Amino acid sequence: MKIAVVGSGYVGLVAGACLAESGNDVFCVDKDGPKIRGLQRGRIPIYEPGLEELVRRNRVEGRLRFTTNLARAVRASEIIFIAVGTPMGEDGSADLQHVLGVAREVARAMNGYKVIVNKSTVPVGTAERVRKIVRRETTHPFSVVSNPEFLKQGAAIEDFMKPDRVVIGAEDPRASELMQELYAPFTRTGAPIMVMDCPSAELSKYAANAMLATRVSFMNEVANVCDAVQANVDHVRMAVAADRRIGPSFLFPGAGYGGSCFPKDVKALLGFSREHQYDFQILRAVEAVNEAQKARLLLKLEAHFGSLKGRHVGVWGLAFKPKTDDMREAPAITVIHGLLARGARVRAFDPEAQKVARGIFGARIAYADSAYDALTGVDALVIMTEWNEFRRPDFARMKRLMRTPVVVDGRNIYEPERIRAAGFTYYSVGRP
C-alpha cells in the first residue's frame, strides 16, 4: 500500500518504519527541515532499541522516504496517518491545533479518495472534528479513522510488529476493510483487530493508560502502608499478583510514573470528563498519589541526614524508564529539583538521557561519564531508573568511592539483605 505518515516523532517514526518493514511504500512527513535532512542521512532523533536498524534497512531498500512536502506525500498515498504531537494545554487537556492543522493541509492536497487516520492520542470527538474540517476543504471522498497506538517506549518495535490488539474506529466499510488489510501482516499470530466506532476507539487509549497508571499509584499506596507498618511490599505484591483476576503487571512500587503518555493521558481524561460534567474521582486520586510519591525519596533522605544543605548526592537514572532517553514528567526531575531547592549538589548519570537532562538542568547539576563516576565523594546515591547496568554493581567499589555509603533506591532493584551486608545504609520503597 501507499502510505503517508505526517509527523516524524516517536509514534510517527516507529509506525512509518514498521509499516515499511511489512512491504508498504511509506512517506514520513515533517515540517522540521533539519530533522528530515538528518533522517535522510540516517540520523535518528530519538533513542528506541531497534529503530535505527529498521529505518536504515527500509531506506536502503527504497520503501521508506522522508520529506517536508506534505502535498506530494498525500497525493501519492491512499492512507494518511496523522501522528503529530498533542501536548498538554495549560488546563491539562490535549492541544489539538497540530492535528487539526494537518487535517486541513491534507484536505487541500487530496486528489482522490483517502483514508485519514488519527494515530495521535486524541480526546473523544476528534475524529468528528477532523471530518468536519476536511469536508469544508475538499470535494473528494474520504474516510476518517481512529487508530490509537499502544506502544511502550523501549519496546515499541515489538509492540507494533506483534501487537496485543489493533483498535480501528471506522464509520464505513471501505475504510475498515483497507485498515484490516493493512494490519493483517501484524496479526497473523491471532491478535485481534477490533473494529468499533470512533468515540470508543478514541477512549480506549486513555482508558488503557489510566488503568495502568491506577495500578502504579495503587501499588505505591500499598508500599507506603508497608513502610508505616513494617510489612514487605515484595511479599504483598506477590500475593496480590497470584490472583488470576489481577495478575503481576504494573504492580511494582517505586518513585512514581512519568513519560509522554501516562501523565498527559490521565490529565486529558480528567479534562474531557470535566467538560462532560463528570468528576473522575479515582483518576484524580491516581494523579495526586503519583505527584506525592515522587517526593517521598526526598523525605527518606531528609529523615537520614536532617538538612540536605551542602550534601553531595549522586543520581543513577534520569529517563522516566529504561531503554529510552525520554525525560518528560520523569520522577528524576522532581527529585533533582527538590535536592537543589534544599541546597544539595547533584551529580547524575544516565546511559541515554544525559543530553536531554542538560537541556532541563543546564549547569545546575554535574553530569558523570559513568555510573561509578557519579559516586565520587557523594554522601548518598539515589536510584531513579532501573537500567540493567545498575542492577549488579560492584558494591565494594561503590563503597570506596562514596563519602558515606547511603543508598535510596527508588526502584527496589537490590535485595536489602545483600546490600546491607556490603556495609550500606539502604532505603527502598515499602520494604523494612
Residues serving a catalytic function are: 261
Would you state the cell numbers that stand for residue 160, as one nine-digit string?
Answer: 507494533
- What is the Cα–Cα distance from 82 to 6, expressed in whole angstroms? 5
Give the orientation angle of helix 10-21 with respect to helix 51-60, to 10 degrees: 50
Q: Look-up: residue for cell 537490590? A: 414
Would you state the cell numbers that stand for residue 308, as one nine-digit string?
Answer: 540536605
Would you state the cell numbers that stand for residue 390, as one nine-digit string?
Answer: 545498575
- What is the Cα–Cα distance from 196 to 199, expressed in whole angstroms? 8
Distances from the Cα of 138 to the Cα of 111, 132, 142, angstroms = 9, 10, 9
Judging by beta carbons within 10 Å of its beta carbon (0-12, 13-18, 19+), is residue 279 exposed, middle or buried? exposed
Strands in 44-188 per DSSP E? 64-67, 79-82, 114-118, 142-146, 166-170
| Phi, psi values for residue 244, rounded to 5° | -65, -20
Q: Look-up: residue for cell 484490516? A: 180
CA atoms within 13 A on the CB side of 268: 27
The alpha-carbon radius of gyration of the chain (Å, integer) is 23
- What is the Cα–Cα distance from 78 to 178, expressed in whole angstroms? 9
Find out whether 178 and 115 touch, Cβ atoms under 8 Å: yes
Best CA proximity match to 34, nearest among 70, 3, 63, 66: 66
Find out whether 174 and 230 touch, Cβ atoms under 8 Å: no
Distances from the Cα of 388 to the Cα of 134, 248, 366, 394, 397, angstroms = 47, 20, 22, 14, 18
| Phi, psi values for residue 57, rounded to 5° | -65, -45
Give the orientation angle of helix 281-305 with respect to helix 262-275, to 10 degrees: 140
Find out whether 327 and 318 touch, Cβ atoms under 8 Å: yes
